């Protein structure tokens, strides 16, 4: 068969045609080699900007996928300049589509997995294990590549897909929830509403995120139990992320007895400001007498704890409260509590 192919090439093409094809192949290979070398040298200059790891990935992707595809393209163009018999021409075209599909799918797969893994590492490297996720991405890309290849080779792909019939519909319905959780996983991965280790609150539950998987997210509650919630439910809920707090606001209301003299009432805001100022990482906002309550004179104070640590927040709030009680006790200021005054009238007879 090879002898017949060579004979047909020699009979159907002149020496000039063969020389032109060879020149295109060799010239293309040389140009590709020079171009790739120049590109790699320029890429190395961008290492300080991009970082060493992205630069290595790009160079590796070019060497594994782009460079061999360009070499095969040069060969394909050179061969196509020749007069080929019909079977050989169809074979060359099919080989070109196979090469395009193979290297294209591999490049896209590597780019997708690298992007996802890079995003995962930016989130602490614990958002999910790489092993179960990489095959899923790769399988989808290669399945689409196979459909593309079969379609371009003349196969009726739509007939094959339609042949799935009721079984395909049943499979789609059965996997709807799984696909919904998978899509929600991508939303969490890309949008980053929280990271592993963040303390979040949702649907009345609070805890630290331990792991975000393809289908579920695991949260360790403040009481110690593990909460497992589907990604779809989590992305649909209102989530509070306490890890991103820059400061915590404290609102305190104090009720004083109605016998408190106005002179002392005027001193209370400055007194509260001084007490808050005794504590580090606090910022006093305001303190005012706000209204006359049913059984108390109501004062309101607002200050901020300039730290996201919940333990420190509670320690400062407790210390401020105790200092207020101490200072009020020294000055004879009494806290009010609901009381009733009963008048008894003694009647004669």
pLDDT of residue 131: 44
CB atoms within 10 A of CB 27: 12
Q: Which residue has the higher pLDDT, 71 or 157?
A: 71
Which pair of tokens denotes residue 104? 């294209």
Please say whether the beta carbons of 297 and 256 come within 8 A: yes
* Res 223 pLDDT > 90: no
Provide the β-strand partners of residue 255: 298
List, in order of start, the domains of the chain with CATH numbers. Answer: 2-165 (no CATH), 181-243 (2.30.30.60), 245-331 (3.30.70.100)
Question: What percent of the chain has a predicted confidence (pLDDT) above 90?
Answer: 22
- Cα-Cα-Cα-Cα torsion 203, 204, 208, 209, nearest 10 degrees, comes to -10
For 197, the 3-state DSSP assignment is coil
Name the pLDDT band for 10 (thresholds 50, 70, 90).
Answer: low
Please say whether the beta carbons of 185 and 212 come within 8 A: yes
Please count the CA atoms within 13 angstroms of the CA of 140 that sit on its side-chain side: 10
Non-local (6+) Cβ contacts of 46 within 8 A are 55
The long-range contacts involving 13-17, CB below 8 angstroms and separated by at least 24 positions, are 13/82, 13/83, 17/81, 17/82, 17/83
Highest-confidence segment of 34-48, 138-152, 220-234: 220-234
Backbone angles phi, psi at 209, to 5 degrees: -70, 125
Cα gap 335→325, rounded to integer Å: 9
Q: Which residue has the higher pLDDT, 78 or 272?
A: 272
Query: Averaged over 264-292, what is the pLDDT?
Result: 93
pLDDT of residue 302: 96
Name the pLDDT band for 279 (thresholds 50, 70, 90).
Answer: very high
pLDDT of residue 128: 44
Backbone angles phi, psi at 164, to 5 degrees: -65, -30
Q: How confident is the model over 288-337, as pLDDT tens digits?
A: 999 998 889 999 999 999 988 878 889 999 999 999 999 999 999 999 88
């Amino acid at each position: 068969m090879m002898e017949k192919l060579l004979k047909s090439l020699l009979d159907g093409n002149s020496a000039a045609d063969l020389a032109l094809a060879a020149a295109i192949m060799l010239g293309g290979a040389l140009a590709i080699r020079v171009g790739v070398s120049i590109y790699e040298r320029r890429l190395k200059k961008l290492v300080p900007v991009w970082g060493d790891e992205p630069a290595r990935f790009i160079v590796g992707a070019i060497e594994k996928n782009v460079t061999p595809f360009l070499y095969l393209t040069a060969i394909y163009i050179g061969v196509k300049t020749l007069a080929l018999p019909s079977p050989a021409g169809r074979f060359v075209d099919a080989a070109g589509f196979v090469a395009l599909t193979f290297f294209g799918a591999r490049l896209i797969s590597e780019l997708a997995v690298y992007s996802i893994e890079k995003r995962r590492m930016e989130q602490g490297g614990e958002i999910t294990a790489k092993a179960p996720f990489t095959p899923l991405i790769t399988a989808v890309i290669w399945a689409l590549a196979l459909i593309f290849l079969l379609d371009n080779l003349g196969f009726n792909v739509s007939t094959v897909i339609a042949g799935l019939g009721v079984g395909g519909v049943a499979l789609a319905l059965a996997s709807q929830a799984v696909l919904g959780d998978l899509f929600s996983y991508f939303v969490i991965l890309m949008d980053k509403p929280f990271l592993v280790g963040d303390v979040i609150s949702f649907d009345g539950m609070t805890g630290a995120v331990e792991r975000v998987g393809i289908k579920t997210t695991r949260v360790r509650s403040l009481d110690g139990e593990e909460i497992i919630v589907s990604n779809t439910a989590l992305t649909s809920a209102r989530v509070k992320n306490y890890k991103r707090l820059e400061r915590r606001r404290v609102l305190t209301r104090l009720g004083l007895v109605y016998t408190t003299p106005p002179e002392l009432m005027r001193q209370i805001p400055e007194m509260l400001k001084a007490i808050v100022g005794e504590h580090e990482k606090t910022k006093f906002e305001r303190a005012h007498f706000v209204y006359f309550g049913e059984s108390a004179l109501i004062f309101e104070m607002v200050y901020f704890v300039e730290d996201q640590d919940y333990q420190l927040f509670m320690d400062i709030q407790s210390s401020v409260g105790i200092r207020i009680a101490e200072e009020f006790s020294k000055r004879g200021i009494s806290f009010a509590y609901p009381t009733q005054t009963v008048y008894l009238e003694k009647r004669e007879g």
